Amino acid sequence: MPNSPDIFTFGEAMALFMTVDTDSVATASSYAMTAAGAEGNVAVAATRLGLDVYFQTKLGRDQLGDAVAGQFEAAGINSKHFLRVENYTGALVRNHGAIEVLENTYLRRCSAGSTFAPADIDIELLAQSRWLHVTGITVALSDTARDAVAFALESARSKKVGISFDLNIRRKLWTPEKARETLNAMVRDVDLVTGGVDEYELVFGSKDPEKNLTAASARGIKTVIMTAGPDEMRVMHEGKRFNFMPEKVKVIDPVGSGDAFISGTICGLLAGLSIQEAIAQGSKCGAMVASTMGDWAGMVSGAGGLLPDSLK
């Protein structure tokens, strides 16, 4: 475990079972197992880019928890500090979405990850870190998990640690009304917020994306990034507005590409890139993951938070 991590993040890690023989859970009989989870995906991508990352998760005292921990270890993540509890390890079953519409089935109610609480956050290590990354997924898991995110945010603000917040609204986890109420109160005074056009609309309330950008920026958010799938991103950075066209690739598996994007962007900022350069790096990372099967299989190795020169 690094003494002074570049990035500190935490959230639920699940066992991911993905269809192999067909692109539909309804007809598949064979599945491949790996690990999944937004914050874990960010941690793996940042580790591949050469930064020191502290990723905390909670797993059950079961063989599925052992398997998930092993997947992260194989990806270069230290799992010795992972917390093990009596609740079961969460799982996700899905198709890969290349032919059929992507369909996720979550098995996570009362899972180990839902038991996150403020006491699980290593505040001393967070204070030594350069950056905290959190997502709306953890906020949605339970009241105690929401409180853990709020606690980490306040601690990071007080210690002048950089902060990113990925809205990442999972509508199967909570109602739109609950998501709006909770995230509207939490998303403020951070360095970077990312999310899709529809997610910003849900949180900030306007049908006009430009008004939502402005509203987010007014909350003390240094950089607001609004994604729109393969279309141009809208960006508001320190009050200045610009667009960015993401990398175009043939999408094989879109899941995890957004996490790779935010991770590549954060790493770029920590490496000293301008916001435009950091977003360009994040876009390349997202494209790599989208063009391969799995949440992080396509991520290449870099150094110091930067992609190799051949990919810049």
Weakest mean pLDDT among 63-67, 75-79, 176-180, 301-305: 301-305
pLDDT digits (tens, 9 = 90+) for 216-242: 999 999 999 999 988 999 999 999 999
User: Average pLDDT, stretch 27-53?
Assistant: 95
Tokens of 221: 């958010």
Whether the pLDDT of residue 272 is over 60: the answer is yes
Whether the pLDDT of residue 6 is over 70: the answer is yes
User: Average pLDDT, stretch 28-37?
Assistant: 94
Where would I find the H helices in 159-241?
176-186, 197-204, 209-217
Task: Determine which one of 120, 191, 259, 295 is catalytic.
Answer: 259
Helix axis angle, 176-186 to 143-158, nearest 10°: 20
For residue 219, give the DSSP letter: T
259 annotated active-site: yes
For residue 252, name the pLDDT band (cuts at 50, 70, 90). Answer: low
> Phi/psi class of residue 62: alpha, beta or left (left: φ > 0; alpha: ψ in -120 to 50)?
beta
Per CATH, the architecture of 7-298 is what? 3-Layer(aba) Sandwich (3.40)
> Which candidate, 118, 71, 117, 120, places its Cα nearest to that of 91?
71
| C-alpha span between 152 and 66 (Å, rounded) | 27
Q: How much is the pLDDT for 229? A: 83
User: Average pLDDT, stretch 292-300?
Assistant: 65
Pairing of strands 7-10, 53-56: parallel
Whether the pLDDT of residue 2 is over 60: the answer is no
Mean pLDDT over the full length of the chain: 93
* SS3 assignment, position 68: helix
HEC readout, 252-312: CCCCCHHHHHHHHHHHHHHCCCCHHHHHHHHHHHHHHHHCCCCCCCCCCCCECCECCHHHC
